[in-house]
Structure 1
Amino acid sequence: MKQKDEPIVVNVAERRLVGRKAGHGVPTIVLEMGLGAAGSFYDEIARQLATFTRVVWYDRAGLGQSDPVPTPRTIQDLVFDLHALLHTADISGPYILAGHSLGGLTIRFYKKHYPEEVAALVLIDSAHEEQQQRQLAILPSSQANEPNALAQLRYAWEVSWCDPFSNEEHIDNLVNSELMRTCGTLGSTPLIVVSRGRSNRDPDNYPPGLVEQIEQIWYQMQCELAGLSSRSKHIIAEHSGHLINKDEPEALIKAFREIVMQVRQEMEI
């Protein structure tokens, strides 16, 4: 049965944050998007989740319908906004926090600072705090006649990644990595890690074997994320690239159903 969305509009530090909620029941799933993605990126998934529990998703500051904010920003700022949004809108926990890409860092940081509010986490092809240095370490030395795709990739990691004003939200990745190193593990918090099964890069545009190396490193980091909790499950979306909600949405819906049932059993609902 299709669920009707309800708007969420709150004032946070004299600016407007806009989101949506749908469905009923506990726990509440809260969706945190990847870099530059407004809440509408997850509309379809959210409405499917709303058929079996309540779900909340929103536009971060400066995206979609939410007001802009001074920049640069860090995950600390994003967590402040998300916490204010949920509490100002009187959306009670416990929460299952779900984060795609950059959103994975945000929800881990939220769990660190508001542990009593978080029942479980879902990391969706999540970023890792060491991804920049690990990716740079495997790139071959710069050559005058190297493939354009390789030159662009090197520039992205060496220059753009370090400059907050080069990304859509002016997010400071360097500060984020330092903040994440204070987070530690997730203990016994229920955790599902859903990782991509294929690359979005065409191997023909890179030196032989490089794309495979990149994916191996990404997979290793995903395994490390799964290792953050003693109660975790690692799912590979075999047919999906980074945008799992678009490529293999059924893998996400299945994972969410599983973790909602787990949390309900532990809450004796």
Structure 2
Amino acid sequence: MSPSHDELIHKNDTPPLGKQYDIGGGRRINLHYAGTGTPAVVIEAGAGGFGFDYYSIFELCAQRTTCVLYDRAGSGWSDPAPGERSVREMMADLHTALDKASVTGPYLLVGHSLGGLLIQAFAQHFPDEVVGLVLIDPSVKGIPLPKDSDEAVVLDMLEKLKNNPALWREWYPTLFAEWEKLPAQVRDPLIARHMDSDHIACGLHDMLSARQIQEDVINGPALPDIPVIVLTGMQIDSVPGRSDEEKQAFNQIKLAAHAAFANSVTQGEHRVLQDAGHLFYTQRPDVVVAAIFDLLDLVARSSRHR
């Protein structure tokens, strides 16, 4: 008999895999890695996401090189940080956790949605340690993000989810269907954690913080001259509160913004996927892994020619 949601939440203080690393200040960051070799692939979750959301990508990447999943402060199985923090402080958490786990660079960073902004910030502030970026349907300049005026809408979503966490399944059926395919050791605590109201609140806070993070990255140091692959999912998503026409219009804005970003960097490449949407890392992990492996091959060739 499967454990109940309440039972899973009660015993959910210990991560299903990995370790909580002490990064100072009385805080721990949950990080899990597997595989051997360099560059190490480090995966950064989107808003409201946890490291284990990307387990299917992680498993495939770890067959080739070291691969890392982690939870940002306050999400998943990582301790919260006090107060509002800069994007540089957020990425310093990751840098310290990698050091504590003895996962040394260079790093190939993979970021989904908001995570696409965060890995840019990591590369800006630790440029000598990053050899490539894979951005999965990322938030970049030109894509509309939640404004302060959207706070009431976000808080309304939070209240609905707190009162009825099962709405997650109704709003994101594809996501839950893909999670059901994960090993039980990861799947059960992951789903329970996502449906816990405290973690729902953390995810919605991510959404409201995205605008400031985007501004910090746009106004931050230049990216190092490294290869970048931008992946765009064009399938219509089941986003609550938006009509299909609004979703289509947003997708066209997103497509143009992603193309512009890829063209703005010296070694940029833009790949478009028509048969999956914003969460296509669950629907088509093979596409994400192919991009990661292509960059690993490129980095290896560049190293041989030095």
Q: What range describes the TM-score normalised by the shorter chain of this pair? A: 0.7 to 0.9
Runs of 4 or more, structure 1, over 4 Å off, are 161-167
CA separation in 2, counterparts of 1:164 and 1:98?
A: 29
Choose the corresponding residue for 2:254, options 211, 218, 239.
218
Letter of the structure 1 residue corresponding to residue 217 of structure 2:
M
Choose the corresponding residue for 1:206, options 236, 243, 247.
243
TM-score, normalized by length of structure 1?
Answer: 0.80
CA separation in 1, counterparts of 2:22 and 2:286?
A: 35
CA separation in 2, counterparts of 1:45 and 1:163?
A: 29
Structure-2 residue corresponding to 1:141: none
Aligned length: 243
Change (3 A) 1:213 1:86: same
Structure-2 residue corresponding to 1:160: 151
Choose the corresponding residue for 2:231, options 194, 205, 225.
194
In the TM superposition, what is the alpha-carbon distance from 1:157 to its structure 2 partner? 7.7
Change (3 A) 1:232 1:162: farther
> What secondary structure, in the 3-state scheme, does the structure 2 residue paired with 1:76 have?
helix
In the TM superposition, what is the alpha-carbon distance from 1:217 to its structure 2 partner? 0.4
Structure-2 residue corresponding to 1:125: 137
In the TM superposition, what is the alpha-carbon distance from 1:86 to its structure 2 partner? 1.1
Choose the corresponding residue for 1:50, options 49, 54, 62.
62
Q: Where in structure 2 are the equivalents of 1:231-242 lying within 5 Å?
A: 231-242=267-278
Q: Does 1:110 align with 2:144?
A: no
> What secondary structure, in the 3-state scheme, does the structure 1 residue paired with 2:144 have?
helix
> What secondary structure, in the 3-state scheme, does the structure 2 residue paired with 1:17 have?
strand
CA separation in 1, counterparts of 2:48 and 2:257?
A: 22
Equivalent pairs: percent with the same residue? 29
Structure-2 residue corresponding to 1:38: 50
Aligned partners of 1:6 and 1:22 also within 8 Å? no
CA separation in 2, counterparts of 1:162 and 1:224?
A: 30
Structure-2 residue corresponding to 1:7: 18
CA separation in 1, counterparts of 2:125 and 2:224?
A: 14
Q: Where in structure 2 are the equivalents of 1:47-196 lying within 5 Å?
A: 47-132=59-144, 158-160=149-151, 168-169=202-203, 170-171=205-206, 172-183=209-220, 185-186=222-223, 188-196=225-233
> What secondary structure, in the 3-state scheme, does the structure 1 residue paired with 2:93 have?
helix
Q: Deviations over 1:225-258 (max 9, x none)?
A: 2123211221112211101111111111111111
In the TM superposition, what is the alpha-carbon distance from 1:184 to its structure 2 partner? 5.7
CA separation in 2, counterparts of 1:243 and 1:101?
A: 9
In the TM superposition, what is the alpha-carbon distance from 1:105 to its structure 2 partner? 0.6
Query: RCO higher in 1 or 2 (8 Å CA, sep ≥ 6)?
Result: 2
CA RMSD of aligned residues (A): 2.9
CA separation in 1, counterparts of 2:97 and 2:300?
A: 24
Aligned partners of 2:74 and 2:202 also within 8 Å? no
Aligned partners of 2:29 and 2:72 also within 8 Å? yes
CA separation in 2, counterparts of 1:53 and 1:70?
A: 34
Q: Deviations over 1:90-146 (max 9, x none)?
A: 21111001100000110101111110000001100001244227xxxxxxxxxxxxx
Structure-2 residue corresponding to 1:145: none
CA separation in 2, counterparts of 1:69 and 1:111?
A: 22
Structure-2 residue corresponding to 1:243: 279
CA separation in 2, counterparts of 1:176 and 1:62?
A: 16
Residues 160-169 or 88-97, more deviating: 160-169
